[in-house]
């Protein structure tokens, strides 16, 4: 039992004639470890990207809300009247009238 542990610690299981099986297993395990590390880094990069996009989405939503509020204020009749007052344009005192035009042709279409 002690000699087997000593052989493992010395690394003779990698240098004897049956070591090809062991090397294949070691290379396979190393390849799997590399794939796992790569996928973990890729996943972490995606998580950071999702976090940045969520932050951008919140910022754009707040900008949209602010601009919508400003637009609602600018569309108010009182705001438009005060801005046009400087140009000499005021709201009409009389309501608009509908103009009806009758067709006076003879009907010879």
pLDDT in tens, the chain (109 residues): 778 787 777 777 677 777 777 788 889 999 999 999 999 999 999 999 999 999 999 999 999 999 999 999 999 988 888 888 888 888 888 888 899 988 887 655 5
The pLDDT score that the predictor gives to residue 78 is: 87
Domain boundaries, the chain: 20-84
**Residue bearing tokens 């204020």:** 73
* Residue-level pLDDT at 65: 97
- How many residues are given for the chain? 109
**For residue 91, which of 102, 106, 80 has the smallest C-alpha distance?**
80
* pLDDT given for residue 108 in this prediction: 59
Which value, in Å, is the radius of gyration of the alpha carbons in the chain? 41
């Amino acid at each position: 039992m002690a000699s087997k542990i000593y052989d493992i610690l010395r690394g003779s299981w990698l240098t004897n004639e049956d070591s090809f099986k062991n090397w294949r297993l070691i290379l396979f395990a190393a390849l799997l470890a590399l794939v796992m590390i790569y996928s973990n880094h890729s996943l972490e990069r995606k998580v950071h990207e999702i976090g940045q996009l969520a932050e951008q989405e919140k910022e754009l939503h707040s900008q949209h809300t602010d601009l919508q509020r400003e637009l609602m204020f600018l569309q108010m009749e009182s705001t438009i009247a005060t801005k046009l007052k400087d140009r000499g344009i005021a709201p009409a005192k009389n309501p608009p009238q509908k103009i009806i035009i009758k067709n006076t042709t003879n009907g010879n279409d």
